[in-house]
Structure 1
Amino acid sequence: MEFIASRKCLDKIHESETYLRENPVKVQSSLIFQANTDIGQYLSQQSNLGRILDSHTLKMILDKVMNVKRKSEYNVKIPSDRNQTFHLEGICSLPSGQVIVADHSNKKVKLLDKSYNVSGHCDVSGHPSDICQITSSEVAVTLYGEGVQFISVSNGQLVNGRKFKLPLVATGIAHHLGALYITSGTALYHYNMTGTLVKKLYEDTGGACAGKCIVNIFEY
């Protein structure tokens, strides 16, 4: 659901940029936003808001604000895969239209072309658990029990870059303005790009599982 929303946003951004290039004339305009009261009412009833959401709760919220009109299935198996059962724990769409997926089962990160065919891959030292975009050609991948691996796209291939260790089992990662937001089993942390802890943002002392995280990049 996160991937679909991201792709739709990118399409709208590209459409807007194309329109602005073709229509450079400055005009006076104003926008009025009207809140969707149905969404607000639903979110106000969720006791889990204000804490780390589990995947089931997040799916329920996304189901309220998004409608999936169609879906397609693609095969990401390559000859060097040892496991026949795939657990794709993370997915990231690049501005180029390429997609990068984290293959947890085979300890691989795979690059898909615009037709979602595997066009490249790289092996990683641990089981990848999540992935996020850093730049237009670089992503960060959490390796379960090991740390964070940076991977770049170069000449149509994936290349392993620098890596830093973490004193926790990282399950989720997100990036915004040079900050990394990483989840463990029960907490959400803010790290910088060199792997230094800035601060712990949240912890559920009740032992609830903290899975993936999403950063809201919109300003109000």
Structure 2
Amino acid sequence: MPLPLARTAAAVVCASNEQDTLGKVLQQLERLPLQEVIVVLNGCRDQSYSAARNHRIASILHVPGRLGHDVGRSMGAAMTSADIVLFTDGDVVISAEELAPFIYKVDEGIDAALNDLNPYLPPYMHQDEVTRCKSFLNTVLGHPELGANSLTAVPHALARRLIDDIGSEQLMVPPKAQALALAKGHRFALVQPVDVISANRKRPGNTGTGNAVADLIIGDHAEAFHALIDAGWMPQSSTVSRTEVALRRNA
């Protein structure tokens, strides 16, 4: 039996031709104390709609064109007024036991509960450019403890106050949303490791050096810094020497 929440909670699930897994994803979400589940069908051409319709908890938003999961999450977040919004995808089945800590963490007062992917990442010298961009953004914002973890990875959960403060439209660019939220003082926390890396579907556009997805995420980080500068943000001063930086980088 799920423990009761002090606040209301909802989930947003983005799916793009995920008929084989979407039903299983929704089965796990039905085991959580959620008041609603927003299913964003993103350019689906398979039976994902039928799979979602089999679950009474699901409210379905069908987008004919493929706008991407980030846009879908933004649209889903705008469709619910719940105090806590859990985000996950329709292609990776995550158990309710693994999802629950994210909503409970926000219920306890955290503004953003992130998936801790640190155990699945290689040492710095072997990390790709996307991982390094994520770490760099968190570090310059004064939160090196977040490592390379960000809103680009599911599952994660956000407090309604954070979404309302930065605007749900900012979720279309996850690094930008994270940067604005951290700059405004919202509290982020790493919850637990959930391995979505090995389960991530390999597609032509998301594999290999300089692939389209990597280029998009790197561009999103550049947009995040641009938004911070426009908002008048200044990086925190640091007394860390170049030697200390080199030691950390080569660890």
TM-score computed with the length of structure 2 as normaliser:
0.22
Give 1 or 2 for the bigger CA radius of gyration: 1
Higher helix share: 2
Give the structure-1-normalised TM-score.
0.24
Larger relative CO (CA 8 A, sep 6+): 1 or 2? Answer: 2
